[in-house]
Amino acid sequence: MKNILLVDDSALMRRVLCDIINSDERFHVQDRAVNGLEALDLLSRKTYDAVVLDVNMPQMNGLELLKELQKRKISARVLMASTDTREGAKTTLDALELGALDFVHKPNNAMDCRNGEFKERLIKLLAVVADSRVPMASKTFTADGLKSSKKMVELVSKHASSVSGNKIVALASSTGGPKALQAVIPRLPKNLKAPVVVVQHMPAGFTASLAERLDSLSEVKVKEAAEGDVLEPGTVYIAMGGKHLNILTMATKYTIHYTNEPAREGVKPCANYMYESLSDSRYDQIVCVVMTGMGADGTQGIQNLKAKKKTQVIVQEASTCAVYGMPKSVVAAGLADQTVPLEQIAQEIIMNVGVK
């Protein structure tokens, strides 16, 4: 049975969340805290399989707690549960950057938490977070990191400038993805010879903030993909949350097209649709990248794509994944051409598609 720490300043919310968590025989709420200070004291002395953490609390809020855990190098598997997370996309991204593994939007009213949909999502994500790798207090992408990555780009670009062909990079990620993308996208040079299309599993309302944040850190242009966008080299297109992204081939142009089928693999956007939409494209090669995340999204799409097109499949190496689900599924299906640590994914992308 997994031991859980529940952190929330509302007594009613603590009781409701506690009942939901304890209703699943895999979990037991071992301790409760009313704010970040209490939680910090408990986490300094005890180890938990997962922490369910609210954002807005007196004395020390959820983000301040995450910062303090990083500072003191205390590892914890954290699931954010906050009424803030839907409107406060920035707050949510801050939390993911500070080490939270995923988030669940908590209804404003404690009684609404008892509805099936919220209960189901909380339990599903808690199971993933509790089984994930304990995140080490890792640094976010910095100016120094960019400097060393520029040296790396200079080294590989000698080879990369001779790479020929019309190619596209199609990347899929889920749990742990927002932070992992910060180790990949800012390392790509602006003269990358291919467009990059990304399906990161996130609800509607979060992907625009994610794109803005990555854009501010990167040389390449990063944007939330809009209906009808024409794909350009050196630009990263992040699929909008809550819709399925497809790439349409129109003469010599490739454009973004959204569809509204039900969730597939339990997710929307689903990377399988993105990969399958490329099977009729005129690209000489599709470079598929599968990174950290739960489930098996991407595997079926890549399998269908490989049957029709020349593909190169790069997967993130297990020890560098927050959740080794999606990459593991691709490897198990015998579809992976390269398995590399997170820090090396950008250079493999550059080597495969080239620079102008």
Domains and CATH numbers, the chain: 2-131 (3.40.50.2300), 143-353 (3.40.50.180)
Candidate from 38-42, 103-107, 176-180, 262-266 with smallest mean pLDDT: 103-107
Of all residues in the chain, the percent with pLDDT exceeding 70 is 91
Is residue 270 within 8 A of residue 199, CB to CB? The reply is: yes
Residue in the structure block whose two tokens are 């993105």? 274
Which pTM was predicted? 0.92
Phi, psi of 292 (to 5 degrees): -40, 140
pLDDT at 140 over 70: no
Residue type, 219: E
What is the rounded average pLDDT for all residues in the chain? 92
Pick the range with the lowest mean pLDDT from 81-85, 165-169, 242-246, 281-285: 81-85
The answer to whether residue 127 scores a pLDDT higher than 60 is: yes
Can you give the three-state secondary structure of 217-251, one letter per residue?
HCCCEEEECCCCCECCCCEEEECCCCCEEEEEEEC
Residues forming the active site: 174, 201, 297
Query: Which of 136-140, 164-168, 174-178, 351-355 is least confident?
Result: 136-140
Phi then psi for residue 192, to 5 deg, are -55, 135
Mean pLDDT over residues 318-336, rounded? 97
Residue 252 pLDDT class (50, 70, 90 cuts)? confident
Average pLDDT over residues 303-309: 97
Q: 203 vs 50, which has greater pLDDT?
A: 50
Asked whether the beta carbons of 274 and 247 are under 8 A apart, the reply is yes
Q: What is the average per-residue pLDDT within 319-330?
A: 96
pLDDT bucket at 147, cuts 50 / 70 / 90: low
Give residue 109's pLDDT: 83
Rounded CA separation 263/97 (Å): 26
Q: What is the pLDDT of residue 22?
A: 97
The DSSP line for 167-187 is: EEEEEEE-TTHHHHHTTTGGG
Q: Are 157 and 349 in contact (CB under 8 A)?
A: no
User: The tokens 């020890």 sit on which residue?
Assistant: 319
Predicted pLDDT of residue 149: 61
pLDDT at site 93: 92
Number of other CB atoms surrounding residue 34 within 10 Å: 17
Helix (H) or strand (E) holding 81: strand 78-82
On whether the CB atoms of residues 104 and 122 are closer than 8 A, the answer is yes
Residue 74 to residue 201: CA distance in whole angstroms: 27
Contact 297, 265 (CB under 8 A): yes
Confidence of residue 84 (pLDDT cuts 50, 70, 90): low
The predicted pLDDT at position 161 comes to: 67
